[in-house]
Amino acid sequence: GAGVSQSPRYKVTKRGQDVALRCDPISGHVSLYWYRQALGQGPEFLTYFNYEAQQDKSGLPNDRFSAERPEGSISTLTIQRTEQRDSAMYRCASSLPGAETQYFGPGTRLLVL
């Protein structure tokens, strides 16, 4: 596609439910990043993939958060047993091989009630 796409754009869920957020990177971009942006803050790194391999997951806040990219293209960020503090904008970015510039998608706004 022309840009990074994310779905859903908005997600409202009840505390304790699991949610799955999807990211479809720009065609040809092998690197994929997930960030979380709280209200009034800048994006904060969660995890990073190169092809299907998760290279860095140091930013995942706890074991309720996980991510996968099984075929090296679309990625899913899963949050289990959601809590109100998980409410935020979740952003995905992708980049070309060996490139420093990351291109961001529109984000998924998650609200946990």
Partner 1 sequence: AQSVTQPDIHITVSEGASLELRCNYSYGATPYLFWYVQSPGQGLQLLLKYFSGDTLVQGIKGFEAEFKRSQSSFNLRKPSVHWSDAAEYFCAVGAKAGTALIFGKGTTLSVSS
57 is a site residue for partner 1 (CB under 8 A): no
69 is a site residue for partner 1 (CB under 8 A): no
Q: Which residue has the tokens 């596609």?
A: 1
90 is a site residue for partner 1 (CB under 8 A): no
Q: Which stretch binds partner 1 (CB under 8 A): 20-28, 38-46, 61-69, 71-79?
A: 38-46
Of the pair 14, 58, the CB lying nearest partner 1 is at 58
Out of 28, 40, 63, 71, name the contact with partner 1 by CB under 8 A. 40
CB–CB of 45/33 below 8 Å?
A: yes
Q: Let me know how many helices (H) and strands (E) the chain has, helices first.
A: 0, 11
CA 25, 87, 9, 15 torsion-angle sign: positive
Of the pair 75, 95, the CB lying nearest partner 1 is at 95
Single-letter residue type at 99: A
